[in-house]
Amino acid sequence: MAVFSVNAQDEFFQPTKSIGGYGELHYNSSKQGDVDGTKTLDFHRFIIYYSASFTEAWSFFSEVELEHNFVNDGEGELELEQAFVEYRSDKGGFKAGVILPTAGLLNEYHEPPLFLSVERPEYSKYVIPTTWFANGISANYKPMDGLKLRVALLEDLNGEDVGSGFRSARGKGYKTTAYDWTKNFSAEYTGLPGLRLGGSYTMNNAPINDDPDTTANVALLELHAKYVAHNIYAIFEYGNINYDGTNHTPSYKSSGGYYLDLGYNMASILNLKGKLMPWFRFSDYNRGTNDDGVLPSKHYTITRFGVTFWPVDKVAFKIDFGTKETEDADIDEISQLNVGVGYNF
C-alpha cells in the first residue's frame, strides 16, 4: 500500500519552475557630533530566486544578488548566495550546494518585509554575518511537531582574516578549502503559535593562507527568540564569538552582543488596512576584545525608533531614527535617519 501511494503521488505530480526575489531602496542620512555625514540614496539589493521542483521530494533552489545597482572598480557585489539541490520529507531532508548556515533569525530568511528597520540590525552584520553563505551540505531532522534539528558541513573560513572579525573571514564559496570543515549545529522550536525559539553553535579551525597545519580557531554561539501574534512584535538575539590562534592585526579574542526589538501593530486601532507598527530597538555589541577586555572604541550602544507600514504582507515602507555611541570619549555620538521601501515576491 505504501509503495502504491508513493507511485501514485509521482504519477500525478507535475514538475514546476518558479521565479521570485526581493529588493530594497534606502535613503540614509547621518551626523557625527556637529559634523554632517553623507546623505545617500541607494538601491541596496536586487535579488532574483529561481527554483524547480522535480518531484514532491526533490527540488532545486537558487538566489543571485546584485548590490548597489552594478559592480564597478571593486564597488558593488554580484554574488551567488544560494544554489542547492534539496530533498524533503515529513521527518527531515538535506541540501547540497551553496547554502545558508542556520545562525540567527535573519541569515536564512532576510527579505526586507521580515525585519523592522530600513537597514538590517547591526547585530546581524557584525555578530551574525548576515548574509552568510557557503559551499557545503546540510541535513535536518524533525523528531516532533515544531522541533527541527539541523547540522551543516561547510567550507573553511579564511584563517588569516578571522582575527579581525567573523564577517571578514567568510569565503563566499570562492576557491574555498575544506581541511577542517566549518561545523554548524542548530535547533529550532516553532510549536507554539507566533513563537520561534532557537540557537546554534558553529566552529572551525580555519587554515591560515590555506595551510591546514596553521589555523585560527573560531566558535560562534547564538540564541534567539521571536514572537509575532496578537499585534505584538518582539525579538531578542544574543551571540558571542571566541577566537584563538589568530595572527591578524588587529587580533581580537572575542566579539558579540545582543539586540531587542519591541513593536505593536496599531492598524486596527486606526482602522487602517495592512499593518502599521511603531517600534523600538536597543542594541549593545562589541566588535573586539583583547586581554584587557572590551575595547572602548569597539563597544557600541544603539538606540533606535521607527515606524513600519505594510500595505500588504510583501511590501514594507520604513522610517527610523536613532543614535550610535561608543565607550570611547574621543568618538562623538552618531545620529542616523533612514527611510526605505522593501519588497519580496
**What digits encode the pLDDT tens for the residues 240-282?**
999 886 655 567 788 999 999 999 999 999 999 999 999 999 9
Q: Are 325 and 305 in contact (CB under 8 A)?
A: no
In this prediction, residue 144 carries a pLDDT of 96
Q: Which cell numbers in the block locate residue 136? A: 557545503
Q: How far apart are CA 345 and CA 343, in angstroms?
A: 7
Burial 230-257 (b: 16+ CB within 10 A, else e): eeebbbebbbbbbbebbebeeebbbbbb
In this prediction, residue 4 carries a pLDDT of 40
The values of phi and psi at residue 3, to 5°, are: -65, -40
Alpha-carbon distance values, 303 to 259, 309, 336 (Å): 10, 20, 10
| Domain extents in the chain | 17-31+38-344
239: Cα separation from own chain's centroid: 13
Taking only the tens place, the pLDDT of each residue in 78-128 is: 999 999 999 999 999 999 999 999 999 999 999 999 999 999 999 999 999
Q: Which cell numbers in the block locate residue 198? A: 532557537
Residues of the chain with pLDDT under 50: 1-8
The third-level CATH classification (topology) of the domain covering 17-31+38-344 is Porin (2.40.160)
CB-neighbour burial class of residue 269 (10 A; exposed 0-12, middle 13-18, buried 19+) = exposed
Q: What 3-state DSSP class applies to 9?
A: helix
In this prediction, residue 288 carries a pLDDT of 84
pTM for the predicted model, two decimal places: 0.91
Q: How far apart are CA 64 and CA 31, in angstroms?
A: 34
In this prediction, residue 244 carries a pLDDT of 83
